[in-house]
Structure 1
């Protein structure tokens, strides 16, 4: 039987020197207010591990090193984050476990979006760069630096939120998440505008299964990541005293399941499906890209090297 110590001050429920454990403090006193579900978090560790291995295989197969690096960093961060939640199942008051999960799970999708930004900028070069309103390289010269800022803000905020002045850390994390939402929305608008112009030019009628699969995977992943970021903003808007952060089911669905699906979708939105030179002949034909139509450059100018 637990022997709850009601003399412990609420200010001491959380922190590196907190005396609380499940033996002397109620789980409701912990920062999350619940004991993370062990089975669900182990499942996410396994799922992200498998997806990471799948991306490693695809990366080596198609030699898409940059995309693979981003995906592996994201999956590894997810695995470590859920290990932190498993540690919190053992002790919901663990300061180190909370720090691991809040930092790693918060920043992981940033690595996925970086891979998406670079891939879709290459896609414009591959299809018809002259239809873009600005140089395709600007996609990653603009969006990647913002992605790095989001990463820094979210990581710093997560680390600071585990200190005594958690409100400042929460505000910094919120700034990073809100910025990420804005950047993703702007990216969707910019790339959507390009695809509309490409479709209006008539080239999209030549798309085969590879390009359709590629765009479906990338579109699904970016929308799923945006959904997750909006959820995390709502979760943190009232800090760690808010109502949403005290409920695990929304977290499991809108953080865990949504990001697993996004990572899986990026297996189908993999650049190797379209860009790898060895796949051009048997995969994406020149007419499928639309490069044989009027107004487009020769295929030699549209080839993208990984």
Structure 2
């Protein structure tokens, strides 16, 4: 049972909304699992785990409708829904490094690609640890530790915002540079119909921008929520959770379903470009052989 000094909810969690979100996240997560297996995109494992967090989180929230004072259900839904976006972020960070390498644009990135993923994922891990620790402290139930836990979570969210802001800036700088100084790969990866949706790097980078903005909006909402505290206006109205967290994160998962990295980065190789390179190499070998024959004659 919850401590008398702390009210878990200022409302009874909405059952239909919680069930609907659990089902929706289950559908998009299953599709992501299929895409990950088909595309061998192991860098999206953490993204899928984030989806599983959402499913369990909203499942526990549905249970909280019947057991409003259950600290176990409260802790499960609170922690998993809070932490899922950090797992999405980890995969998105890895995608940028792969896009840059895929386009042979390492010289256009102001952060060395070999360090880029490590730096951003390290920041993401720090944010994850702080938020998880803060959530764990909050479940103790005493007034003092709850306040401490809230501010630890605020620190974690600030770290997340800082690194995500740096990530978006890094992406934009690279994008501007590769438009001004295109590589052969960046100009040649478009398909034969001239389409960039979804099998061109531009579509994938745009998807990363959309996902980043949605996660940033959600993180700002969470920051406001925890700064206001347990008696604040935001946390006491359930609608904010569904509009600025659930809807945002579901949109992130759907966007990455539609513009999945494996369309472009399948095994780290653009199959159409690879075939083109192979044809060019074969043609070059034939020309070299013909020149050699002429020289002998």
TM superposition score category, shorter chain reference: 0.7 to 0.9
Contact 2:136 2:149 in 1 (8 A): yes
Match of 1:5 in 2: none
State the TM-score, normalizing by the size of structure 2. 0.82
Please point out which of 75, 96, 99 is paired with 1:123: 99
Q: Distance in 2 between matches of 1:278 and 1:124?
A: 11
Is residue 2:49 matched to residue 1:70? no
Contact 1:218 1:269 in 2 (8 A): no
Cα deviation, 1:172-219, whole Å, max 9, x if unaligned, reads 111101110111001101111111111122456665422233222221
Match of 2:241 in 1: 251
**Worse-matched range after superposition: 99-108 or 83-92:** 83-92
**Worse-matched range after superposition: 54-63 or 272-281:** 272-281
1:246: Cα distance to partner? 0.4
Contact 2:75 2:135 in 1 (8 A): yes
Contact 1:62 1:276 in 2 (8 A): yes
Q: Secondary structure at the match of 2:125?
A: helix
Contact 1:214 1:268 in 2 (8 A): no
Would the alpha carbon gap of residues 276 and 33 (structure 1) be closer, same or farther in structure 2, given more than 3 Å must change?
A: same
1:244: Cα distance to partner? 0.7
Q: Secondary structure at the match of 2:111?
A: coil
Match of 1:188 in 2: 168
Cα deviation, 1:153-188, whole Å, max 9, x if unaligned, reads 111101111112211111111110111011100110
Match of 2:280 in 1: none
Q: Distance in 2 between matches of 1:285 and 1:223?
A: 35
Match of 1:235 in 2: 225
Q: Distance in 2 between matches of 1:263 and 1:284?
A: 29
1:59: Cα distance to partner? 0.7
Match of 1:61 in 2: 38
Please point out which of 155, 159, 178 is paired with 1:198: 178
Is residue 2:151 matched to residue 1:171? yes
Q: Distance in 2 between matches of 1:278 and 1:181?
A: 29
Please point out which of 192, 216, 223 is paired with 1:226: 216
Q: Distance in 1 between matches of 2:149 and 2:97?
A: 33
1:270: Cα distance to partner? 2.2
Would the alpha carbon gap of residues 283 and 84 (structure 1) be closer, same or farther in structure 2, given more than 3 Å must change?
A: farther
Match of 1:25 in 2: none
1:13: Cα distance to partner? 5.5
Please point out which of 38, 44, 50 is paired with 2:15: 38
Q: Secondary structure at the match of 2:264?
A: helix
Is residue 2:4 matched to residue 1:12? yes
1:277: Cα distance to partner? 5.0
Q: Secondary structure at the match of 1:241?
A: coil
1:286: Cα distance to partner? 6.6
Q: Distance in 2 between matches of 1:252 and 1:245?
A: 11
Contact 2:98 2:268 in 1 (8 A): no
Match of 1:293 in 2: none
Contact 1:157 1:172 in 2 (8 A): yes
Q: Which has the higher Rg, Structure 1 or Structure 2?
A: 2
Would the alpha carbon gap of residues 153 and 277 (structure 1) be closer, same or farther in structure 2, given more than 3 Å must change?
A: closer
Contact 1:215 1:269 in 2 (8 A): no
Q: Which ranges in structure 2 are unaligned for 5 or more consecutive residues?
A: 278-297
Match of 2:122 in 1: 145
Would the alpha carbon gap of residues 277 and 114 (structure 1) be closer, same or farther in structure 2, given more than 3 Å must change?
A: closer
Would the alpha carbon gap of residues 256 and 286 (structure 1) be closer, same or farther in structure 2, given more than 3 Å must change?
A: farther
Q: Distance in 1 between matches of 2:132 and 2:20?
A: 24
